[in-house]
Amino acid sequence: MIKQRARLLRRHAAALLGGLALLAALPAGPAAAAEGQLRIAKQFGVVYLLLNVAEDQKLIEKHGKEAGLDIKVEYLQLSGGSAVNDALLSGSVDIGSAGVGPLFTLWDRTRGRQNVRGVASLGNFPYYLVSNRPEVKTIVDLTDKDRIALPAVGVSVQARILQMASAKLWGDKDFARLDRNSVAVPHPEAAAAIIKGGTEITAHFGNPPFQEQELAENPNAHVILSSYDVQGGPASSTVLYATEKFYKDSPKTYQAFVDALDEAARFITADPERAADIYLKANGSRIDRTLLLKVIKSPEVSFKIEPQNTLGLGQFMHRVGAIKNEPKALNDYFFVNPRVAAGG
């Protein structure tokens, strides 16, 4: 069942990637929402907690009113960066959310067209590559019999970080060495496979809270790679982005959104208990509340909208030919805004 599911997901991911390339080559889609309207694509996981809090506390509406604007906000629940990117390029949403790897890909492919750039970070979270095989200590120990589950083979932020780690070990020419071991599996299914054991999935490059659940529920589960180690410290892995048209045509709505995110970040830092309850309610999640709070309060996690330590991944992607254009500074791939200007 896992094998069949993985094969279907690999074909689906390939089709979506092809669709993304086609969409990027076409003229921009329907006009973005007018000033005072905002459509946001969100996904599942603790990494999207800023959006959960902003929605629950109606922070975008609050900051819109302070600017003399009644903003109608709509949240669309999607799954996977490819679906988010398709929605953004087609004009179905104004703000997308996915890994920083997909942002670099979209930024590169839409230059001179939709000119997609980053809006804000959703915070710093370490992403762990977890194995349930005790003999696997590092990625060097992975063999042909290992299958690494991640959101999308070769293109997700987890896949890009794995490529970056491979390049450091085996050289740039072998940066995609572990792509052949990778399979596209949604985080909940991958986590279930790691916890249960006995399937072809022996490793999972996930995100919170799935990685923490694996470590808590399978005594053989252990971390063999951390994104922070690969990227040289705390880094923003998940970000928000938009087209240049929305940025220019809806400046008040855009600023209200950024201000709301900043307030949401301060809310979570000041009251993690309440933030945890908001997450559980928003996602209908059955995760153990104590484990969830452990993630939110982790010293490795920080909720802030300034992107941190993202440039290195983009430059790596350019160096190995994954993107044509080389990012040289934050304002190359992020829109200019005082609240994110201190990032990098």
Reported as a single tens digit per residue, the pLDDT across 184-227 is 998 889 999 999 999 999 999 999 999 999 999 999 999 999 99
Q: Tell me, what's the pLDDT at 82? A: 75
Could you report the per-residue pLDDT of 100-149, keeping only the tens digit for each? 998 999 999 999 999 999 999 999 999 999 999 999 999 999 999 999 99
pLDDT, the chain, mean: 89
H-only helix segments in the chain: 2-25, 49-56, 59-66, 81-89, 100-109, 157-170, 187-196, 210-217, 227-231, 244-249, 251-270, 272-283, 289-297, 311-319, 330-333
User: What does the alpha-carbon distance between residue 204 and residue 184 come to, in Å, rounded to a whole number?
Assistant: 10
Whether the Cβ atoms of residue 175 and residue 166 lie closer than 8 Å to each other: yes
Q: Tell me, what's the pLDDT at 251? A: 96
320's CB contacts (< 8 A; 6+ apart) are 163, 167, 172, 175, 176
Q: What are the backbone dihedrals phi and psi of residue 224, each rounded to the nearest 5 degrees, phi first?
A: -110, -10
Q: Specify the residue for token string 């399978």.
A: 218
CA neighbor of 210 nearest in space, from 200, 221, 198: 221
Count of CB atoms within 10 A of residue 23's CB?
20
CA neighbor of 121 nearest in space, from 4, 270, 258, 247: 258
Average pLDDT (278-299) is 92
Could you report the per-residue pLDDT of 307-318, keeping only the tens digit for each? 999 999 999 999
Which residue did the predictor score with more confidence, 56 or 14? Answer: 56
Lowest average pLDDT, out of 23-27, 97-101, 118-122, 147-151, goes to 23-27
